């Protein structure tokens, strides 16, 4: 009798009718299911991420259903998949009572609140030039982060480029306490964090939370432009938001944040400001004297006599932030840090200590312009006329609005010109890597401006002739903020150039002004002396007038060059469409 019952039960369980029903359920949940499987992309073969030998959503559903019915350890390894199938078939969640590790995870890292966190750019490091993003979960006074990254420790730069952009590198999806992660970025790297708390239903939160557990032992492939911190976070978020898809050619952390904002999925924003940024803001607002700064560098408070409560509070926070900066930079011991903070607190009233300092959210990535652009232009160069087409896949140019960044900066793209009169084409610029950073110098914490170019470029050679070739250039200097909207920069460069006929190495001095004007207009004056110690020195003066709108930039550029009384001028009219 028992054997007959078992036979009929198994016949019913594996009957075509039941599988037809489960297939219907799969059709209803195919997008959610495929997202939990990450569409079979960028998963390392040794991850054991699938039950089937290759990615097949239908087969994976069938095999997973068998595991669910057998209440196997598969449920503990893939709780989100078990939850989705169980809710689709039985309309109730499965039991996880036998899953010790998963239950321990829920106790150690509860998720009453889920956030995405944006880490501001670090332009001194190319891999951090577009910022970083990670997920944060919080509950019961505990908070943890989930982040995707790779190691950039290859000695051979060509090997690094090959692996990062083409073949892929080993990626690491890691979990850590939020206090450790935030301390690393804020104190060690001096970067700001923007936390965006997400609006989630209970079902969305459960699927997302359980899926984070599924990924903790999964090996992913990392590609700088195709599968990075922002793209994996985007794929994870699509588990909760199936319709979420930032429509960008190259999704950056800012693109993901903005799309969440536009689709009204952000509930609340919290700023975690780094010591560097806070010191710069306070210093500018106070307009400190040399004596004030020397006193603060001695980890003491300047004279507060006659100051209002607000100004006293600003000095108080500046002294505390600088002391914390010195400690996080490793310049003073913990004991000295605690002693200095104690002395600073003694000198300030409770009213001033508790006074709320409002930090402007200028650097909030939600307010930044789109960071890809196509440029249409008209040029006159050496009495020849050209039409131009330029493309920048990600980031900004110096004449764009950079108000939401911590410094004026530019990354390079390419610009192709066609002669109006004939079929001549001219590759004016093609950058493999181009970075310009004009970081204003702060009297307390310093600040370095630099430029690095490597790629094909049209230049005036030492014989004062236009030529195209391979150029590498490195420059170093300082930028001073004379007023809130006026920066003065000065850099010294070393430039190497090679074309079909010549190669040379020359030095270059550069001086200029960046002027931020009303109605989002911007002017740049750039003066350079090429080979300043040579009889064949070339003087180069550039002037750019830029008009910035929401997703359009209009600018005109004038260029004047002199050598031994001979002059060559050029100009261009440009329209850039940002997307």
Share of the chain above pLDDT 90, in %: 59
Instruction: Assess whether 306 and 318 both reside in one domain.
Output: yes
Rounded distance between C-alpha atoms, residue 74 and residue 47, angstroms: 14
Instruction: Assess whether 58 and 193 both reside in one domain.
Output: no
Calculate mean pLDDT across residues 479-492.
94
Rounded distance between C-alpha atoms, residue 296 and residue 288, angstroms: 10
Q: What tokens does 239 get? A: 């588990």
206 contacts 111 by C-beta, under 8 angstroms: no
Instruction: Assess whether 329 and 440 both reside in one domain.
Output: no
Which residue, 272, 288, 318, sits at the end of a domain? 272
pLDDT for res 155: 53
Domain that holds residue 340: 275-353
Beta strands in 120-189 (DSSP E): 132-139, 142-149, 169-177
415-439 confidence digits (pLDDT tens)? 999 999 888 898 999 988 888 899 9
Instruction: Assess whether 479 and 530 both reside in one domain.
Output: yes
Give the C-alpha distances (Å, rounded to integers) separating 31 from 35, 61, 138, 240: 6, 12, 27, 11
pLDDT for res 521: 96
Flag whether 4 is in a domain.
no
Give the C-alpha distances (Å, rounded to integers) separating 549 from 106, 378, 388, 546: 48, 20, 21, 10
Name the residue with higher pLDDT: 336 or 129: 336
Flag whether 236 is in a domain.
yes
Instruction: Assess whether 137 and 285 both reside in one domain.
Output: no
Task: Kindly tell me if the per-residue pLDDT of 108 is higher than 70.
Answer: yes
Question: pTM value?
Answer: 0.86
Calculate mean pLDDT across residues 64-87.
91
DSSP state of 340: H
Instruction: Assess whether 344 and 415 both reside in one domain.
Output: no
Closest-CA residue to 282 (of 319, 325, 331): 319
DSSP state of 446: B
**Please, which residues have CB within 8 angstroms of residue 268's CB and are 6 or more apart in sequence?**
196, 197
Instruction: Assess whether 186 and 217 both reside in one domain.
Output: yes
Q: What tokens does 310 get? A: 């607000």
Rounded distance between C-alpha atoms, residue 30 and residue 37, angstroms: 10
Instruction: Assess whether 116 and 259 both reside in one domain.
Output: yes
pLDDT for res 103: 96
Count of domains observed in the chain = 4
Rounded distance between C-alpha atoms, residue 516 and residue 514, angstroms: 7
Instruction: Assess whether 127 and 62 both reside in one domain.
Output: no
Instruction: Assess whether 35 and 116 both reside in one domain.
Output: no
Which residue, 47, 69, 96, sits at the end of a domain? 96
Three-state DSSP class for residue 361: coil
Name the residue with higher pLDDT: 182 or 401: 182
CATH number at 413 reads 2.40.160.40
Conformation bin of residue 210: beta by default, left when phi > 0, alpha when psi is -120 to 50: alpha
Phi, psi for 555 (deg, rounded to 5)? -150, 150
Phi, psi for 190 (deg, rounded to 5)? 65, 35
pLDDT band of 86, cuts 50, 70, 90: very high
Instruction: Assess whether 91 and 184 both reside in one domain.
Output: no
45 contacts 53 by C-beta, under 8 angstroms: no
Instruction: Assess whether 78 and 126 both reside in one domain.
Output: no
Lowest-confidence segment of 4-8, 250-254, 337-341, 536-540 by average pLDDT: 4-8
Calculate mean pLDDT across residues 544-549.
96
Calculate mean pLDDT across residues 215-232.
83
Calculate mean pLDDT across residues 394-400.
85
Rounded distance between C-alpha atoms, residue 218 and residue 47, angstroms: 5
């Amino acid at each position: 009798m028992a054997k007959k019952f078992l036979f009929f039960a198994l016949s019913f369980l594996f009957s075509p009718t039941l599988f037809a029903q489960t297939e219907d359920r799969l059709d209803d949940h195919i997008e959610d299911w495929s997202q939990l499987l990450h569409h079979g992309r960028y998963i390392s073969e040794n991850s054991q991420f699938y039950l089937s030998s290759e990615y097949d959503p239908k087969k994976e559903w069938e095999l997973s259903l068998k595991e669910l019915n057998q209440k196997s350890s598969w449920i503990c390894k893939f709780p989100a998949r078990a939850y989705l199938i169980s809710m689709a078939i039985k309309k109730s969640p499965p039991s996880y009572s036998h899953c010790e590790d998963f239950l321990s995870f829920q106790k150690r890292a509860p998720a009453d609140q889920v956030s995405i966190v944006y880490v501001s750019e670090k332009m001194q490091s190319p891999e951090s030039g577009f910022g970083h993003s990670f997920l944060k979960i919080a509950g019961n006074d505990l908070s943890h982060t989930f982040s995707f990254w790779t190691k950039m420790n290859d000695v051979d730069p060509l090997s690094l480029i090959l692996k990062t952009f083409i073949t892929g590198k080993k990626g690491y999806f890691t979990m850590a306490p939020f206090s450790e992660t935030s301390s690393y970025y804020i104190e060690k790297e001096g970067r700001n964090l923007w936390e965006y708390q997400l609006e989630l239903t209970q079902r969305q939160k459960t699927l997302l939370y359980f899926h984070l557990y599924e990924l903790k032992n999964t090996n992913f492939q990392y590609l700088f432009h195709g599968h990075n911190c922002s793209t994996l976070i985007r794929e994870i978020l699509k588990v909760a938001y199936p319709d979420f898809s930032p429509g960008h050619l190259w999704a950056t952390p800012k693109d993901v944040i903005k799309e969440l904002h536009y689709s009204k999925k952000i509930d609340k924003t919290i700023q975690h400001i780094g010591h560097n940024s806070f010191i710069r803001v306070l210093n500018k607002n106070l307009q400190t004297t040399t004596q004030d700064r020397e006193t603060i560098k001695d980890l003491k408070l300047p004279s507060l006599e006659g100051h209002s409560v607000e100004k006293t509070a600003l000095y108080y926070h500046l002294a505390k932030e600088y002391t914390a900066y010195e400690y996080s930079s490793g310049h003073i011991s913990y004991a000295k840090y605690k002693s200095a903070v104690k002395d600073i607190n003694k000198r300030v009233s409770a009213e001033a200590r508790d006074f709320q300092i409002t930090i402007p959210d200028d650097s909030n990535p939600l307010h930044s312009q789109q960071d890809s652009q196509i440029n249409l232009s008209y040029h006159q160069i050496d009495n020849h006329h050209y039409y131009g087409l330029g493309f920048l896949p990600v980031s900004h140019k110096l004449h764009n609005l950079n108000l939401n960044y911590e410094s004026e900066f530019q990354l390079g793209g390419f610009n192709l010109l066609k002669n109006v009169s004939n079929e001549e084409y001219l590759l004016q610029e093609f950058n493999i890597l181009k970075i310009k950073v004009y970081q204003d110098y702060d009297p307390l914490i310093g600040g370095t401006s630099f430029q690095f170019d490597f790629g094909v470029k049209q230049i005036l050679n030492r014989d004062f002739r236009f030529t195209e070739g391979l150029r590498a250039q490195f420059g170093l200097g300082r930028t001073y903020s004379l007023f809130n909207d006026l920066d003065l920069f000065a850099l010294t460069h070393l430039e190497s150039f090679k074309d079909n006929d010549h190669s040379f190495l020359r030095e270059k001095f550069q001086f200029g002004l960046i002027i931020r004007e009303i109605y989002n207009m911007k002017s740049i004056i750039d003066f350079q002396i090429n080979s300043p110690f040579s009889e064949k020195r070339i003087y180069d003066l550039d002037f750019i007038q830029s008009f910035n709108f929401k997703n359009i930039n209009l600018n005109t550029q004038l260029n004047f060059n002199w050598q031994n009384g001979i002059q060559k001028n050029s100009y261009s009219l440009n329209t850039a469409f940002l997307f």
